[in-house]
A and B are shown apart, each in its own frame.
Chain A
């Protein structure tokens, strides 16, 4: 009976292949990506209310680069590094989800 079950797939655990059903949660899990310090992502969904830098600007670590308003808080986002702004990927008043790319940097 089990052999006819079309939902059966393979799952490898400690080098053994198990025949089993996979949950939606398991299939939809987001593969891990190491964080990239040159890509500034939104840490919370919200609205961009001010952008202080433009493409090509030189930034020092700690310089304020934009203001992201979320949950009635105006979060002043700072540059994580010394470098240059490669690209600004947002516009003022844009509503951004969590994890959205806001600004890309490049080394000086």
Chain B
């Protein structure tokens, strides 16, 4: 056979495979607002950068008439490409082929690209769109999932792992995204749950729709399983690209530096925070007033809103922000906000991203539900994460820093490298009201006018302790600064911490309060 004929044969073979599950299945996919697996990859990656591997892989299942079925590429596309020039390994399940079900060869393709990503130390992106295990392949599909989870864990903290849920992702399959760093969901398209509505109804008699059980909104707002929520696939891909621009390729590198830029003029830092510590403001305004171009890439925006986390740039370098949000639940620490902050701190630490903490919190959320939900165990994660982190840690106390919350939020005592406080900072064991009630209990009760005495004592406490100078006098705060000096101090702190090196005792790993 002449070579040109062989090339034509290859082209024909490719053409057949590129049709995936066929035109009818593709039409059905599109009708749901979904792209095909290859389309999604093309939109996400730089134009012309995608190289596909294992296109000709076929399954070997024989039972249940599977030997008569051909499943192009076995329902998953793998390959490598680039996003804004950064190398990426990627896989995308193809729902048009046997519902994207995961069989032995399907899983081998995924683990092949995962191994490749780890070996080459490049980020991995997984696009999930699958009905679940290919039941005809029995325990082979379970083995496949297990091999994927193992590699997710092995790669954790070495290369960035991003999961994109663009269809169903149910049963055991959900544990791959859950083990990765960032999970993206899209309205009406993403569905994640361990047991579906049918099973729940049969076993427990509870009726619920798929959307209400494990739709995009649920995971973005209620469970915290998702980190980014988008209304369309295109919006989701744009967000992934933005995320990739903030993070390094692997844990041996630093994120790429961008051209430094000033914050926008309209972010006037001096006028954001009310002096009365009980009044709210949006801490994101404070963050935007110190970042380059006033840009802030928020993570888990809809979940545990009393804690704000995300990336920004200071003088061109990526930094991670952790901030109490006085606008939501007064910015308290609670079960969810502790989990949110702790995991992000560990992410930044693993990938050499300095952590900037903005503190303004009244303490922990009181309540039986919180105590019984294990706020001790969850709150401890924040202490653990800050203490363990060896990246540069810079803390700015904006206003209140009371009690255990003060210690937890990146304090000097957990080895923050720099602690700055604004002049309105109140660093104390608790708020003036609570403190005065305890310290002056006898005087207040013995007084002819207890209310007047109480007020006077609150004022006395306020003037003595509700300021940054008691902590500054002990060196717990390095500098009391004007709000407008914050950006300059942050830039300097990051510059001088560039070669930070600390030595921790050798251990296999710690036992964080998971």
Smallest distance from the beta carbon of A52 to chain B beta carbons, Å? Answer: 22
Interface CB pairs A-B, < 8 A, 19: A2-B279, A2-B281, A11-B329, A11-B330, A13-B332, A13-B363, A14-B402, A14-B434, A15-B433, A16-B278, A18-B362, A20-B330, A22-B329, A23-B305, A23-B329, A26-B329, A32-B372, A45-B206, A70-B204
Q: How many residues of A contact B (CB 8 A)?
A: 27
> Is the beta-carbon distance between B205 and A14 smaller than 8 angstroms?
no
Q: Per a CB cutoff under 8 Å, which of B222, B327, B329, B431 touches A16? A: B431
Known A45-B206, A97-B206: A17·B329 in contact at CB below 8 Å: no
> Is the beta-carbon distance between B328 and A23 smaller than 8 angstroms?
yes
Q: For chain A, residues 30 to 85, give those with C-beta under 8 angstroms from any C-beta of chain B.
A: 30, 32, 45-47, 70-72
Which positions in B face A, CB cutoff 8 Å?
Answer: 203-206, 222, 274, 277-281, 305-306, 326-332, 336, 362-363, 365-369, 372, 402, 430-434, 437
Q: CB-CB < 8 A to B362: which residues of A?
A: 13-14, 16, 18
> Is the beta-carbon distance between B433 and A14 smaller than 8 angstroms?
yes
> Is the beta-carbon distance between A14 and B431 smaller than 8 angstroms?
yes
> Is the beta-carbon distance between B366 and A13 smaller than 8 angstroms?
yes
Q: CB-CB < 8 A to B433: which residues of A?
A: 14-16
Smallest distance from the beta carbon of A94 to chain B beta carbons, Å? Answer: 10
> Is the beta-carbon distance between B367 and A29 smaller than 8 angstroms?
yes
Q: CB-CB < 8 A to A70: which residues of B?
A: 203-204
Q: CB-CB < 8 A to A13: which residues of B?
A: 330, 332, 362-363, 365-366, 431
Smallest distance from the beta carbon of A27 to chain B beta carbons, Å? Answer: 10
Interface centre among B330, B366, B430, B434 (most CB of A within 10 A): B330
Q: CB-CB < 8 A to B205: which residues of A?
A: 45-47, 95, 97
Smallest distance from the beta carbon of A41 to chain B beta carbons, Å? Answer: 16
Q: CB-CB < 8 A to A29: which residues of B?
A: 367, 369
Q: CB-CB < 8 A to B203: which residues of A?
A: 70-72
Q: CB-CB < 8 A to A92: which residues of B?
A: none
